[in-house]
Amino acid sequence: MCGIVACRTTDSAPEYLCEALEALEYRGYDSVGIAVQTVGGGALRLRSVHRVAELVERMADLPPRDLTGAGIGHTRWATHGGVSERNAHPHTDCTGSVHVVHNGIIENCEELRTTLVSAGHLFSSDVDSEVIAHLVEDELVRGVDLAAALGHTIELCEGSGAIVVMDSHSGRIVGASRHAPLVVAASPNGTFLASDISAFGPRVASFQVLRDGDVVELAVPVRWTGTNTDWPVAVAHTWAGTELDLHGYPDHMAKEIDEQPELAGRILDRVGADATNGALWRSLELPDFDRVAIVGCGTSLNAGGIVAAAFRRFGIMPAETVIASEAADAVLGPRTLVIAMSQSGETADILHALDGENFAHCQVLAITNNPHSSLARRANAIVECSAGHEIGVAATKTFVAQVLTGVAVAISALHELGRVNRSNTQSILDDLRRMPDLLAQSLTVAKDIVPPLAAELADSLGVIFLGRGAGVVYAAEGALKLKELTYRWAQHYPAGELKHGPLALVEEGTPVVIVDSGGARIAGNIAEVAARGARLITIGGAGSTIPALGRSLLAPVDNGFQPCGPLECVIPMQVLARELALVLGRDVDKPRNLAKSVTVE
Ligand code: AGP
């Protein structure tokens, strides 16, 4: 989703801005732009509906200009107004000296725009963000200082968002945010603002996160104003630059799929033992609870479904998943533990859900891959997934990390609450510890069998995914991956539901992927679709189209239930989605219309 960068540096501003924007590309965007102050007090503004690399090429073709080290940049993910150069950021005021980049939505934009237009302001784009430039312009005309002008402007704009403003006359750059991520940092070579710390690269040793009410100016030292009386604490920044390298892989998704078995091993080494002796839960210092609500979106919600099942199955504890964007109607009883599941920790739907009155009495545990995120700051406790930076927009390794971490938290909490049969905890741990091998085995099988299957599906309009029990959530994740990456429809169903309607979709050759976690009932469902000529792809034990679940089916822990369900079945479905996407010529790391960090509701 939209990414903001800004600098006042002794180095080349365009170079820094483009490098930083490239580091934010993983968030997903459809246009890009920068504005850099010129020595004469004007600005060079360059915008493109292509990639950052294209902007870099265009800049190289420009005649040399005298530029200062002050500049701002933006990757846009369109909300208001189509994808065009005129709608790309930075936006300017009527004088052309106020330049603005913005991430978020201004809910009262139409009202503000009408007032500004009737006061004589001229707009040159369709986007809500442009009102900010004109509001700041009005403040400056009244003689208000730039930092205060931004502080007043953000008050006038309803909704959430982060804003950075550059005045090209002075080269001053100020930033502020409300319920949206914006971080600031300093190095010997300058001061920097960004939507997330990956934009800083190896330049800085620490950073500070802006809170609502802060207004920050890029100066030496960084200048803080606004309505808060203290400054936010500095957080150490450990640069993990090599994670951006492909290490010989054709794309990040391929690399991230491959990382999963080893990642599972690392997670279980870290939290496995603490899960079965209760230490993990105790370390969180959260109160006891009687029920669980897991809030999330997309893949994180699917991971939450597996964790909720572990609470229900092993603790006979009521546990449900709540779609974050629909959470306003959720009824959360007393002593409900809310688990907010989010890879990015910046998903606006989740942050908004937690602000709801219906969540006010609940303790919130965040399970996130980003310990510096807005969610991590909002939660009463956090557990990191520690999946490492995931660059592919489609979640793969973070899903596996969320499932394993979440299940470890569930087992640990149930152990402490005395709700899990303690003699069972060792066999649960043993089962969890088999996951790295099971994932590795599944990966080998998937890489061997899936590519030719994917090629066969190139002309199919869509795919049905089926499962039973824990397999249903995995079928949902398989369908989501296929949609995201191939732009073909994909629908999942509990296999038993098929005969109640969806079976009408099945005809000769309809592709149907089935998570076959064993048993007579799923065998019956497989027979139903086979009888109608479906192109069957079963993911199960020996004899399946993709025999990736063999060992997982051998030793179920609790009456056929593994703590994570058939987790390893997700790998063939990830590989299937990626392979089919490649056959169809899609960009597997940056699927169209999608964003890695979804910061609008
Ligand atoms: C998954 O492949 C998608 N990128 C998407 O569904 C994602 O899981 C969802 O937007 C939630 O994001 P989060 O985990 O950062 O909160």
Q: Give tens-digit pLDDT for 309-342.
A: 999 998 999 999 999 999 999 999 999 999 999 9
| 351 close to ligand 1 (CB < 6 Angstrom) | no
Looking at the CA of residue 350, tell me the nearest atom of ligand 1: 16
Go through 257-293 and write b for each residue having 16 or more CB atoms within 10 A of its CB, e for each that does not. Answer: bbbbbebbbbbbebbbebbbebebbeebebeebebbb
Looking at the CA of residue 597, tell me the nearest atom of ligand 1: 15
Q: What residue owns the CA closest to ligand 1's atom 2?
A: 394
Q: How far is the CA of 484 from the centre of ligand 1 (A)?
A: 11
Radius of gyration for the chain, computed over Cα atoms and rounded to the nearest angstrom: 25
pLDDT at 103 over 70: yes
pLDDT at 506 over 50: yes
Looking at the fold, whether 67 and 41 belong to one and the same domain comes out as: yes
Residue 122 lies in a domain: yes
Residue 601 lies in a domain: no
Structure tokens at 271: 């939290």
Q: Residue 310 sits in which domain range? A: 245-433
Best mean pLDDT range from 274-278, 369-373, 474-478: 474-478
| 190 close to ligand 1 (CB < 6 Angstrom) | no
Looking at the fold, whether 457 and 515 belong to one and the same domain comes out as: yes
Picking from 382, 403, 433, the residue at the C-terminal end of a domain is 433
For helices 397-416 and 298-315, the axis angle rounded to 10 degrees is 30
Q: Which amino acid is at 275?
A: A
Looking at the fold, whether 260 and 271 belong to one and the same domain comes out as: yes
Query: How distant, in Å, are the alpha carbons of 275, 277, 302 from that of 428?
Result: 10, 12, 21
Q: Which of 344, 346, 589 to mutate to test the pocket of ligand 1 (most atoms within 8 A of CB)?
A: 344
Query: How distant, in Å, are the alpha carbons of 187, 269, 461 from that of 483?
Result: 42, 34, 11
| Whole-number Å distance between alpha carbons of 588 and 381 | 34
Q: How far is the CA of 398 from the centre of ligand 1 (A)?
A: 9
Looking at the CA of residue 296, tell me the nearest atom of ligand 1: 16
Predicted confidence band at 561 (pLDDT cuts at 50, 70, 90)? low
Which residues are catalytic, by number? Answer: 2, 596
Picking from 243, 268, 301, the residue at the C-terminal end of a domain is 243
Q: Which of 306, 347, 368 to mutate to test the pocket of ligand 1 (most atoms within 8 A of CB)?
A: 347
SS3 annotation, 452-488: HHHHHCCCCCEEEEEECCHHHHHHHHHHHHHHHHHCC
Looking at the fold, whether 563 and 542 belong to one and the same domain comes out as: yes
Q: What is the pLDDT of residues 146-194, one digit of tens each?
A: 999 999 999 999 988 999 999 999 999 999 999 888 999 999 999 999 9
Q: Which of 27, 253, 297 to mutate to test the pocket of ligand 1 (most atoms within 8 A of CB)?
A: 297
Looking at the fold, whether 477 and 382 belong to one and the same domain comes out as: no
Looking at the fold, whether 90 and 239 belong to one and the same domain comes out as: yes
Looking at the CA of residue 396, tell me the nearest atom of ligand 1: 2
Question: In this predicted structure, what is the pLDDT of residue 557?
Answer: 47
Picking from 222, 243, 264, the residue at the C-terminal end of a domain is 243
Kindly report the pTM of this predicted structure: 0.87
Looking at the CA of residue 481, tell me the nearest atom of ligand 1: 2
Give the CATH number, domain containing residue 174.
Answer: 3.60.20.10
Q: How far is the CA of 288 from the centre of ligand 1 (A)?
A: 29
Q: What residue owns the CA closest to ligand 1's atom 3?
A: 394
Structure tokens at 393: 């927009």
| 214 close to ligand 1 (CB < 6 Angstrom) | no
Looking at the fold, whether 75 and 179 belong to one and the same domain comes out as: yes
Residue 556 lies in a domain: yes
Q: What is the pLDDT of residues 415-435, one digit of tens each?
A: 999 998 777 787 888 888 889
Predicted confidence band at 269 (pLDDT cuts at 50, 70, 90)? very high
Q: How far is the CA of 213 from the centre of ligand 1 (A)?
A: 28
Residue 263 lies in a domain: yes
pLDDT at 86 over 80: yes
pLDDT at 214 over 70: yes
Q: How far is the CA of 510 from the centre of ligand 1 (A)?
A: 28
Predicted confidence band at 546 (pLDDT cuts at 50, 70, 90)? very high
Q: How far is the CA of 589 from the centre of ligand 1 (A)?
A: 14
* Domains held by the chain: number: 3
Looking at the fold, whether 453 and 580 belong to one and the same domain comes out as: yes
Looking at the fold, whether 365 and 390 belong to one and the same domain comes out as: yes
Looking at the fold, whether 134 and 277 belong to one and the same domain comes out as: no
Give the CATH number, domain containing residue 334.
Answer: 3.40.50.10490
pLDDT at 276 over 50: yes
Predicted confidence band at 243 (pLDDT cuts at 50, 70, 90)? low
Looking at the fold, whether 54 and 184 belong to one and the same domain comes out as: yes
Residue 596 lies in a domain: no
Looking at the fold, whether 396 and 253 belong to one and the same domain comes out as: yes
